Amino acid sequence: MSNPAGIVPAPEPVDAGAVRGPSAVLEVCMRCIGVLAVVSLALGLVIGLALKGLPGAGAGVFFAWWSWLVASVLVMLVGWPAGLLTSHLLRRQAREWVHVTVFAVVGGVICPPLFWLFMLTVDGPDPVLIAAGGVAVGAVGAGGGRWWTGAARRRRLAHPVEAAQPGVER
């Protein structure tokens, strides 16, 4: 199909997926909690099945739910202020992959000490295993939440009329 009017679509703004300010970082945190829910459930099922078979899957899901609940509280108490600081420090950086990478690194750094502090209250596995799991969970949660938020913000900018309609999710 030809374009008779010669209309050229405007390019996407460089910072279309920008995440700045308290509400945007809160959006990242909520998506981080969503990512952690999926990751926790999958890991709980796999670990439960691997260790104890089908009966262990229920225990694995319970542990996954409990760890997700604790992680959600920690994301809101620690992750939100850390996200505010991180987004402020990256305010002049236009490349989204840098933002996603830095958020993943920050999540991977702050999560292991929080896991370790939580595990002091219960009789848990080896602290090295806790630290490794904390790095992975923090990086996947924070990086995944930041990427997802940027993608959602770009979709909203690309389709402003549809985004303004209540109940329409793109």
Task: Kindly give, in sequence order, each residue whose CB lies less than 8 Å from that of residue 93, ignoring residues fewer than 6 positions away.
Answer: 99
* Separation of alpha carbons 170 and 126, rounded Å: 43
CA 133, CA 125: separation in Å to the nearest integer? 11
Helix (H, G, I), strand (E, B) or coil at 55: helix
* Structure confidence by residue, pLDDT tens digits, 30-89: 999 998 888 888 877 777 777 776 666 777 777 777 778 878 888 889 889 999 999 999
Angle CA(81)–CA(26)–CA(152) in degrees, nearest 5? 135
Question: pTM for this one?
Answer: 0.72
